Structure 1
Amino acid sequence: MYDILIVGAGPAGLTAAIYAARNNKKVGIFEGNVPGGQIVVTATVENYPGFGKVDGPDLAYSMFEQVMNLGVELIGSYVSEIIKTENGFIVKTEDEEFQAKVVIIATGTSQKRLEVPGESDFENRGISWCAICDGSLYKDKVVAVVGGGNSAMEETIYLSNLASKVYLIHRRQQFRAEPHIVEKVKKLENVELVLDSVVEEFIGDQSLGKMRIRNVKTGQERIIEVSGCFEYVGQIPATDFVKELGITDEAGYIQVDNNFETKIENLYACGDVIVKNVRQIVTATNDGAIAALNAIKKLS
């Protein structure tokens, strides 16, 4: 039996693993994808203390390497169910079962979809949610980015160095991203801002070729020709596997107390997956540390 099993190897989960392992606990961490969470698909991080500017994948690997050097067991599977028992928990994957005294959920979020006609037809055939993964496919081509937050801005900057032109589409006149990064985007010569506008349809044959855009103020529509589109329109909590436990709010985020413990004793959650107002790398690592330390106190 593990002392602590952590579900999700993003910044919150990895930080929790570091604190737990350094307290001599037997720790396992589940990750069905690439360790590092959203950082892995972030081209550049400029707001993490100690790093003026760092590539997202490099920061993610540094965190992951530190965890592995502490002897934490990486379990390369997605968790399908968590069951409370008299002695702790059973954590199920598709093929195996694991037992732990404490479980910390740190599954983060995934990218929200636009849910418009043609989107499912061209997923991975022109439509992507990861510029750092797929951006090189569009070298010297025209692409679009949809969104108005920091992620949309950062990936627009990244893509502007590859694509011949980038349309940045946002449903409002003002961006919600940090002002300094917005100013960087506005200075890019090959970026066209398409404001007060929404995507109505994706069009193409074997791959994406066009997008139908509508101005929300005038109702006027236009067709833009693109080879790719990158969506950054919000996040969805990765909590489908715990919905039966009754620990989430209406939006699917996990509810925790000040100790990051859910209403189920010894079941903790931390990072972007919980109910909170700010979701940043630094807040995720903070959550992971506090959750782990409180879990360790319970085990002592």
Structure 2
Amino acid sequence: MENTYDIVIVGAGPAGMTAAIYAIRANMKVLMLDRLAPGGAIINTNEIENYTGAGKLTGAELAIKMFEHTQELGVEFDYRTVIDLKDEGEWKTVVCEEDDAVYKARAVILATGTVPRRLGVPGEDQWAGSGISWCAICDGAQYRDKEVVVIGGGNSAVEESIYLAGICTRLTIVTMFDLTADPKACDQLRKMPNVTVYPYQEVLEFTGEDRLTGVRFKSTKEDATERYVTCDGVFEYIGFAASSEAFAKLGIVDRTGCIEADARMRTKVPGIFGAGDITVKHLRQIVTACGDGAVAANSAASYVESLKQ
């Protein structure tokens, strides 16, 4: 039957590509779909130093290596925007926007990832991935002994700020409200001598010509005082949006839109699996996404084999 596969993988980031590698090595007929270039969020990462065995390289370089690996093994790939996923028992139907393409699969692995929320202010797009980052664990080391600004005051912002303050010469926190993280973590951060917190602020602009040089912001209080802080890098922590619109109606996501999956990456719908940043998890890293992809592919292959018996 045309357009029929054992496993369709939605998303070609580290989780999706790893799932594809494991699935095809399990003798599955595999299709991987993504509306953008393979690599997912890592394409926008300027420098990676914590992916085991790879040393220092850019996100784009790692993405290319991963995709080439999938192609060497014969994984089918297509640029498609998935707009619907239907559970029809033994078969799942994946509906795409382009050409009204429809694919049938016995199992589907969802690895669509998340998208960091952005401020939408001048300079943000210009310096995204090269001065502005959304992951201190990924990019923080390159700002050792430099000046950094963190945008946000929630748990992620405060936890990452504590780490950054330990390696930076000066850390400035700019937040729309006040620090709202765990009180003990907030107290720990405020006591660090190189940390300054500006609560109730609105970011106006990221400045720079050849490189990012600073952040301009103003008070949301009546005085509306404007300030400018120089910096070498910015980390934004204002939340993220899960890319789950196409399958949210299946009842497999939590209130934030992330997929709820068990240790074998199984959702509550038999034959549908999650992997990577789109799942409910504590640590979102390339290496954890790859681990999820491997587990999801193994579980999906076992599921497909059980249907064929």
- The bucket for the TM-score relative to the shorter chain is 0.7 to 0.9
Amino acid at match of 1:126: G
> Shift of the alpha carbon at 1:230?
6.4
32, 35, 56: which one pairs with 1:32?
A: 35
The 2-side partners of 1:30 and 1:230 are apart by 32
Q: Distance in 1 between matches of 2:135 and 2:25?
A: 40
Equivalent in 156, 159, 165 of residue 176 of structure 1: 159
Residues 151, 235 of structure 2: 8 Å contact kept:
no
State whether structure 2 residue 118 is matched by structure 1 residue 127.
no
Q: TM-score, normalised by structure 2?
A: 0.74
Give the distance between the partners of 1:24 and 1:11, measured in 2 at CA.
20
Q: 1:296 aligns with which of 295, 298, 301?
A: 301
Q: Would the alpha carbon gap of residues 212 and 288 (structure 1) be closer, same or farther in structure 2, given more than 3 Å must change? A: same
Distance across 2 between alignment mates of 1:54 and 1:32? 24
| Alignment gaps of 5+ in structure 2 | 174-195, 207-213
Tell me how far apart the structure 2 counterparts of residues 148 and 293 of structure 1 sit (CA, whole Å): 29
Q: Which residue of 1 aligns with 2:261?
A: 256
Per-residue deviation, 1:213? 3.3
* Pairing partner for 2:48 from 41, 45, 49: 45
Provide the rounded CA distance (Å) in 1 between the counterparts of 2:293 and 2:127: 25
Describe the SS at the equivalent of 2:290: helix
Cα RMSD, aligned residues only: 3.6
2:80 equivalent among 56, 77, 82: 77
Equivalent residues, number:
267
Determine the C-alpha separation between the residues in 1 that align with 2:10 and 2:127. 22
Identity %: 32
Matched, 1:277 2:282: yes
Tell me the CA shift for residue 85 of structure 1.
Answer: 1.4
Partner Cα separation in structure 1 for residue 115 and residue 37 of structure 2 = 13
Q: 1:129 to 1:100 in 2, by over 3 A?
A: farther
Residue 52 of structure 1, CA deviation = 2.9
Shift, 1:299, TM fit: 1.6
Residue 108 (structure 1) aligned to one of 98, 103, 113: 113
**Aligned-partner Cα distance in 1 for 2:135–2:285:** 16
Is the alpha carbon distance of 1:129 and 1:78 closer, same or farther for their aligned partners in structure 2, counting shifts above 3 Å? farther
The Cα shift of 1:235 comes to: 2.4
198, 204, 217: which one pairs with 1:202? 204
Contact 2:150 2:161 in 1 (8 A): no
Q: CA 1:224–1:5 in structure 2 vs 1: closer, same or farther (change >3 Å)?
A: same
The partner residue of 2:5 within 2, 7, 17 is 2
Number of the residue aligned with 1:163: none
- How is 1:88-103 mapped onto 2 (pairs within 5 angstroms)? 88-95=91-98, 96-103=101-108
Counterpart residue number, 1:232: 236
Note closer, same or farther for the CA distance 1:146–1:44 as it changes in structure 2 (3 Å cut).
closer
Cα 1:200–1:180 change in 2 (3 A) is: closer
Deviation at 1:170, TM superposition (A): 3.8
Q: Tell me if the contact between 1:129 and 1:231 (Cα under 8 Å) persists in the aligned partners.
A: no
1:193 aligns with 2:198: no
3-state SS, counterpart of residue 275 of structure 1: coil
- Give the match for residue 59 of structure 2: 56
In structure 2, how many angstroms separate the alpha carbons of the residues matched to 1:70 and 1:108? 24
Amino acid in the other structure paired with 2:251: G
The one-character-per-residue Cα deviations of 1:219-255 (angstroms, maximum 9, x if unpaired) are: 98323399xx966224221111111111111111111
Q: What letter is aligned with 1:57?
A: A
Give the conservation status (yes or no) of the 8 Å contact 1:175–1:182: no
Residues 153, 18 of structure 1: CA spacing in aligned structure 2 closer, same or farther, 3 A cutoff? same
Compute the TM-score of the two structures, normalised by the length of structure 1.
0.76
Instruction: Note closer, same or farther for the CA distance 1:289–1:82 as it changes in structure 2 (3 Å cut).
Output: same
